[in-house]
């Protein structure tokens, strides 16, 4: 099993356990379980803050190491979780848009950042695509932005796409009259 698959499996397990803690009916047990989880997160946050401080004491080398940490899927996600990621929100957002812009261009579309207001990212999707690809492309954009900038509360996509059918529609009519004999 690859490292990415293991990470997804552990993430799914954590999410399942959090749902189970939320479903506990005994308020005292639920409060204790929640306090335990929060305490562990606080310890991890402090430890990651110290790691970043120590790395940055190494000046230029430290910045390079921190950039490598940020590029690593697991470490980068933890840096985001604890709000220690070296890239600012706008940098991460622009990187995500640049990545999805390539996929959009392959489908004849373009992705444009309209702005960020009160933790809401506004995107314009324009161009022309075939069939239901517009919805799939919109989901790809939203997923990429939430992954790169998890601290936002919403992504609003203004969809100005024109949907093209790859083949023209053929109008069929039903003739209810007498059936014509088949010829062989």
**Co-location of 37 and 70 in the same domain:** yes
Q: Would you state the pLDDT for residue 126?
A: 84
Q: Residue 80's closest CA among 52, 39, 99?
A: 52
Q: How far is CA 172 from the centre of its chain?
A: 43
Average pLDDT over residues 9-38: 91
pLDDT-derived band at 44, boundaries 50, 70, 90? very high
CATH code for the domain in which residue 145 is found: 3.30.300.130
Q: Would you state the pLDDT for residue 77?
A: 85
**Co-location of 77 and 121 in the same domain:** no
Residue 181 has pLDDT above 70, yes or no: no
Record the pTM.
0.66
pLDDT-derived band at 2, boundaries 50, 70, 90? low
Average pLDDT over residues 151-173: 65
**Co-location of 15 and 77 in the same domain:** yes
**Co-location of 60 and 117 in the same domain:** no
Give the count of domains, the chain. 2
Residue 177 falls within a domain, yes or no?
no
Residue 120 falls within a domain, yes or no?
yes
Average pLDDT over residues 54-58: 89
Average pLDDT over residues 148-169: 71
Average pLDDT over residues 153-175: 62
Residue 175 falls within a domain, yes or no?
no
Residue 26 falls within a domain, yes or no?
yes
Residue-range definition of the domain harbouring residue 157: 89-164
């Amino acid at each position: 099993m690859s490292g990415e698959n293991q990470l997804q499996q552990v993430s799914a397990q954590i999410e399942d356990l959090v749902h189970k803690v939320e479903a506990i009916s005994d308020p005292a047990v639920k409060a204790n379980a929640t306090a335990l989880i929060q305490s562990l997160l606080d310890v991890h946050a402090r430890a990651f803050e110290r790691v970043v401080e120590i790395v940055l004491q190494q000046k230029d080398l430290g910045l390079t190491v921190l950039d490598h940490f940020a590029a690593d899927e697991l470490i980068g996600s933890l840096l985001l979780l604890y709000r220690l990621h070296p890239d600012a929100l706008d940098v991460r957002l622009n990187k995500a848009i640049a990545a999805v812009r390539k996929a959009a261009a392959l489908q004849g579309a373009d992705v444009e950042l309209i702005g960020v207001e009160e933790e809401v990212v506004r995107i314009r999707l324009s161009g022309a695509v075939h069939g239901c690809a517009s919805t799939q492309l919109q989901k790809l954009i939203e997923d990429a932005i939430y992954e790169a900038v998890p601290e936002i509360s919403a992504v609003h996509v203004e969809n100005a796409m024109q949907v093209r059918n790859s083949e023209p529609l053929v109008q069929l009519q039903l003739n209810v009259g007498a059936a014509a004999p088949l010829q062989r």
